[in-house]
Structures are given as structure tokens and as C-alpha cells.
Amino acid sequence: MTKNLTVGSPMKLILGFAVPTLFGLLFQQMYNMVDTMIVGRLLGAKALAAVGATGSINFLIIGFCTGVCSGFAIPVARQMGAGEHSLMRRYTANAAYLAVVFAAVLTAATGLACGAILTVMDTPADIYAGSYRYIFVIFMGIPATFLYNLLAGVLRSLGDSRTPVVFLALSSVLNIGLDVALILYGNMGVAGAAVATVASQAVSGLACLWVVAKRFPILRMTRDERRPDGRLCRDLCAMGLPMGLQYSVTAVGSIILQSAVNGLGSLYVAAVAAGAKLFGLLACPFDALGGAMATYCGQNVGAGKLDRLGRGVKAASALGLVWSLAAAGAMAAFAPRCAMWFIDSAQGEEASFLIGLVSRYIRTASAFFFPLALVNVLRFAIQGMGYSLFAVLSGATEMVVRTAVGWFAVPALGFGAVCFASPAAWVGADLFLIPAFFWCLRRLARLREQYRRTERAVRESNRVHGRSGRWYADPVMLHRHRDRRSGTGAHPHRRIA
């Protein structure tokens, strides 16, 4: 059930890997949209605004969790590409230990601070209580978020992008049923939508855990492989924390922008909430391409096939361009109809006003989808290559742009500035990521050549002096290391040549 992405046509491999991931993301967006549709139609515009007002802080925390898990999976992908299966299992075990710690700390911290955060964000008083109930339940479900995303990331690193999708589909169906039961019949309001989301994700995570235990013998660990290892934990954090921070840094700009939207009133908050759900659905292919590129580049760097990196980026960018044009055309024609998924047109002039706002928001965003495609392809490719710091810097670029729009443009220009905030952030990130990607390619090529020269010198020295030993190199930090426990020279970083 594993898949090797280091051999074959990059276009076919990326497309074949991304399609199952896309279906999983679509299922995820579907149940997110169902939350919004049920809340908006059954509970009204105020409840819709209450959920929407938490969107940016939700992205800040849950995005961090998702990013950390994606980063933890990259060393696993590298060792899979290098054929170091024992080391791959050791990374997996230590990633699980770190996930438990991160989940416990984040759940406690966010649960205590969510009220203060909503106050700082200037959440309108008429929706504050609903926003608090919704986001508090979501934060209490952070362990479920870690469980599913870590297991899904490990499975994708092994080349299996299908198994997580199967259980995410099951989760989506369960979420819809729980939404109806808890909101319509249980009278739980917006808290019911949050409980449904957390419960369904917990089920999908537990289902993934069961499958990993039963059907993936490559992940069955010995007692030694399960042992906590500080060095491996440092390597995992070096990849996971920058990826998590990249999401969070990006979300800071979104929070500031959301605060500016909150100042426009609850109707504008509701419009952005509905538009964001449509955007999330349309952007799924870009997220799938990003996930595919992280695994593709991670495996190929581990295997030392650097020539395939640029070819993979070109193939993924071409796929992103095709979807960008299709999505922009669809929204130009059908945006008002899509807006009515969330808004009951029978509610009169208020509903008509909201439909117009949502249509304007999503049409503006979809016109700039190709820059968003490049952001996902390049950012995740760079992460898979081992340079996670660049992802944080690109996220910082987005944060600066969104912050500037929120602080200066929205008060002066109103809702029109809100519509252009994300497109401007994507273009700004691309201006950083394009040269960064080519720098990373050149850097890896120089390290490979340095490795080859050093390896020849070490082998010659060993031959002359009658020593034995193996040489391993990391794509970023080229060095020799002898494992003190085994004496074999084993090291968590496989050579790139």
C-alpha cells in the first residue's frame, strides 16, 4: 500500500497522488460547508456570523496543528525514499510522542485564552456568546486534530494517499448526521456544529489508527525503534515547528483582517464567512497539489534525485493553472447561486444584500487563483526539500500584506479592500517563493557535489588506513556522524547522492 514517487513521470505521479488527497479535502470541506449551511439556514445570519467570526483564530490554532503534523511527516518521507525503513519507524514513533505533548499543551492554553482572544478581535457583542461556545468546543478537540493529521501525514509519506480519504469520507457522513441531530433536534445551537466536527474527526483518526495497526506491517516497530530519541525529536521539530508557524504567521494577518471585518458589522462578517467556505471548496485542488509536492520532493531528495524536483514543480504548476481557469470561469457564471447555499433568499432584502457581498468576494478571489496555486506548489516543494524556514518567511509576507490591508485599506475602502486582501497576499508570497525555490535547488546541487568529493576522500582514507565506516549526509547540514550506540555510523539523515 506504499508508493515510490522517485521513479516515473512526475505529472502522472503527482496527479495520481493528489487526486485521492483532493477527494479527502473535498469531503473535509463538504462537512465544513454543511456546518455553515445548516447554521445559516436553521439558526439565521447571527449564528452564521458567530461561526464566521472564529474563522481566523480557528485557522491560527488548527492550522498550526496541521502544519506541525505535515512537517513531522517529511523526515518519514525522506527515509522512505532512501530505503531506511527502520529509521523511518523511529521517526514515526517520536513524532507520535511529540504530537501527544503538543496536543496537551495547546488544548489547555487555547481553552483558557479563547475568551480573551475573541475580545481582542473586537467580536461584535451580538454574536460574542455564540462565537465563544463554538470555538471553545473546537479547541477542546485539538487532540482529535493531531491524531488524524499525524496518521494521515505518515501514510501519505509512505505513498498511500487513499486510506486517509476513505475514513475522511466516513467522517463527513457522520458529521452531517450529527449536525442535524444536535442542531435541529438537540437544540444545541452553534455548539452542536462544533461538537459534530470534533466527534467526526475523532472517528476518522481512530479509524486510521486501526488500519495502520492492521494493514501496514512496514510501520510495525521493535522495542528499540519505539524508544524516545532526543536527536530525532529535534529533527522532527526542526521540520514541524516552521511548518506550523507558517500557518500561524499567515493566520495572524487573517486575524487582523477579521478584526477589521468585524468592525464593519455582523452582515459583513456573515458574508465573509460564507465566501470563505466557497473559497475553501474551490481551493482544495491547490491544497492537494501542495501535499503531493511535499511528499514528492521529500522522497526524491531522500533518494538523491534532484533533477526530478524542477520537473515536478512544472507539472504541478500546469495542473494548478488548469484548475485556476476553470474555477474562475465557474464563479463568474454561478457565484450568486453558490451563495444561496448558505443564505435563505426568502429572508428579503438582507438576504439579497448578503448574496451580493458573497458573490463579490468569491469572484475577486477566484480571479487570482493561479498565484495561489504557485504559493501551494512552491511552498510545499521547498518544505519537502528541507528548507522549512522559507515557508515561515513566505507566511510572514502574507501576514504583512493582510495586516496592511486590515489596518489601512479596510477602514478607508470598506468591503472592497477585504475582497482584495488575500489575492494581494498571494502575489506577495509568490514574489518571495519563486526565487527562493531556485536558490534551494542550487544549494542542494552544491551540497550533492560537496558530498561526492568528501565521500571519495573518506573512502580513500578508510582504504589506506584499513578502516571501515559509512558516510551519511543531510541535504542542508552536510556532516559525518558516528552513532555512539551502534558504532555503525548510522545517522537519521541519508545521503543525497
Question: Is pLDDT larger for residue 471 or for residue 457?
Answer: 457
- Summarize pLDDT for 285-305 with one digit per residue, the tens: 998 999 899 889 988 888 888
Return the C-alpha cell found at 34.
454543511
* Confidence band, pLDDT 50/70/90 cuts, at residue 89: very high
Closest by CA position to 357, among listed 416, 408, 443, 292: 416
pLDDT above 80 for 482: no
pLDDT above 70 for 486: no
Q: Angle at Cα 329 formed by Cα 324 and Cα 332, nearest 5°?
A: 125
> What percent of the chain shows pLDDT beyond 70?
88
Tell me what pLDDT residue 487 has: 35
- Summarize pLDDT for 7-29 with one digit per residue, the tens: 889 999 998 888 887 877 777 77
- Summarize pLDDT for 325-348 with one digit per residue, the tens: 999 999 999 999 988 887 766 566
* Confidence band, pLDDT 50/70/90 cuts, at residue 49: confident
The ranges assigned to domains in the chain are 10-450
pLDDT above 90 for 465: no
Between 10-19, 129-138, 274-283, 484-493, the lowest mean confidence (pLDDT) is in: 484-493
- Summarize pLDDT for 468-481 with one digit per residue, the tens: 544 444 444 333 33
Tell me what pLDDT residue 115 has: 87
* Confidence band, pLDDT 50/70/90 cuts, at residue 485: very low
Question: Is pLDDT larger for residue 340 or for residue 2?
Answer: 340
Using CA atoms, how far residue 367 sits from 188, 265, 340, in Å, is 38, 26, 21
Tell me what pLDDT residue 495 has: 38
- Summarize pLDDT for 376-418 with one digit per residue, the tens: 999 999 988 888 788 888 888 988 999 899 889 998 899 999 9
- Summarize pLDDT for 303-318 with one digit per residue, the tens: 888 889 999 999 999 9
Q: Report the range out of 364-378, 404-418, 436-450 with the highest average pLDDT.
A: 364-378
Query: Euclidean distance between the first and final Cα of the chain, in Å?
Result: 27
* Confidence band, pLDDT 50/70/90 cuts, at residue 490: very low
Using CA atoms, how far residue 265 sits from 46, 67, 366, 414, 460, in Å, is 11, 32, 24, 11, 73
Tell me what pLDDT residue 31 has: 65
Task: Report the predicted TM-score, pTM, of the whole model to 2 decimal places.
Answer: 0.70
